[in-house]
């Protein structure tokens, strides 16, 4: 088997608007990987919980609501999307100001993280069993630390505040990234950290193409 045909897992972590999604999507295209955005998992779940009347202040009521939600995967192109009870909500729905301001509060609730843990790990098998994928690239906050600590490649993306705020404005989104990062880094369970041994990449001064070239080079030369 040649090195490029060995199934590999690539973990990409970092704060909000550090370029994880665009970078991971482009790497998936270039290297023939399945792409999973776990931020979208937390957003989809937050959207479903808000619709079911959940409130981040009443965490004890959440396990009963979670029990009514069935998780599945829909593959579109190279992206594996989370469906809940057979439904994949649109991007506009999971990136609304309401979801933006609640998602990291739901993500700090232990029952919510436990609910997604096995599902997220199972995505490696989805990629292995689906024809045409050489591996999996998964992005989030705890991928290299908790979900796939033994991934073949682990990267941690970061960028200066001004660049990140400008990226959100360009996306047309209302989002308090500093506040979310603070909550994501300070929570008890699976906080946002640079996993030990992960390669740090400063995306602030680089174009998307330059970040993708750099990371693909590190993956293919390894």
Interface residue list for ligand DC (CB under 6 A): 16, 38-39, 42-43, 103-104, 107, 140-143, 180, 184
Q: How far is the CB of 56 from ligand DC (least distance, A)?
A: 13
In contact, 199 and 156? CB cutoff 8 Å:
yes
Least Å distance, CB 120 to ligand DC, is: 8
Q: Please name the residues in contact with 124: beta carbons below 8 A apart, sequence gap of 6 or more.
A: 9, 136, 148
Q: What distance in Å separates the CA atoms of residue 184 and residue 100, rounded to the nearest whole number? A: 13
- Between helix 208-221 and helix 20-31 the angle, nearest 10°, is 50
C-beta nearest to ligand DC: residue: 39
Task: State the nearest-atom distance from the C-beta of 208 to ligand DC, in Å.
Answer: 16
For ligand DC, give the closer residue by CB, 18 or 127.
Answer: 18
Contact (CB, 8 A) for 21 and 167? no
Would you say 143 or 212 has its CB closer to ligand DC? 143
C-beta of 186: minimal distance to ligand DC in Å?
12
Q: With respect to ligand DC, which residue has the nearer C-beta, 6 or 169?
A: 169
Q: Closest distance between ligand DC and the C-beta of residue 24, in Å?
A: 10
CA distance 192 to 178: 13
Residue carrying the six token digits 């972590």:
13
Q: Which is nearer to ligand DC, 18 or 222 (CB)?
A: 18
Nearer to ligand DC, 25 or 141 (CB): 141
* Burial (0-12, 13-18, 19+ Cβ within 10 Å), 117: middle
């Amino acid at each position: 088997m040649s090195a490029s045909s060995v199934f590999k897992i690539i973990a990409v972590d970092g704060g909000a608007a550090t370029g994880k999604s665009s970078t991971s999507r482009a790497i998936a295209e270039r290297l023939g990987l399945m792409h999973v955005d776990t931020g979208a998992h937390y957003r989809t779940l937050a959207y479903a919980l808000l619709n079911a009347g959940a409130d981040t202040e009443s965490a004890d009521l959440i396990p009963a609501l979670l029990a009514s939600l069935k998780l599945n995967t829909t593959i579109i192109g190279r992206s594996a999307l989370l469906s809940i009870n057979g439904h994949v909500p649109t991007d506009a729905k999971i990136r609304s100001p309401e979801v933006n301001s609640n998602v990291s509060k739901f993500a700090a609730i232990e029952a919510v993280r436990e609910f997604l843990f096995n599902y997220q790990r199972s995505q490696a098998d989805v990629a292995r069993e689906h024809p045409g994928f050489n591996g999996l690239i998964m992005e989030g906050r705890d991928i290299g630390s908790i979900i796939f600590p033994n991934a073949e490649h682990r990267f941690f993306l970061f960028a200066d505040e001004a660049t990140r705020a400008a990226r959100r404005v360009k996306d047309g989104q209302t989002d308090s990234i500093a506040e979310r990062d603070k909550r994501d880094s300070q929570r008890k369970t699976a906080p946002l950290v640079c996993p030990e041994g992960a390669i740090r990449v400063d995306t602030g001064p680089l174009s998307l193409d330059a970040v993708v070239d750099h990371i693909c080079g590190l993956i293919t030369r390894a």
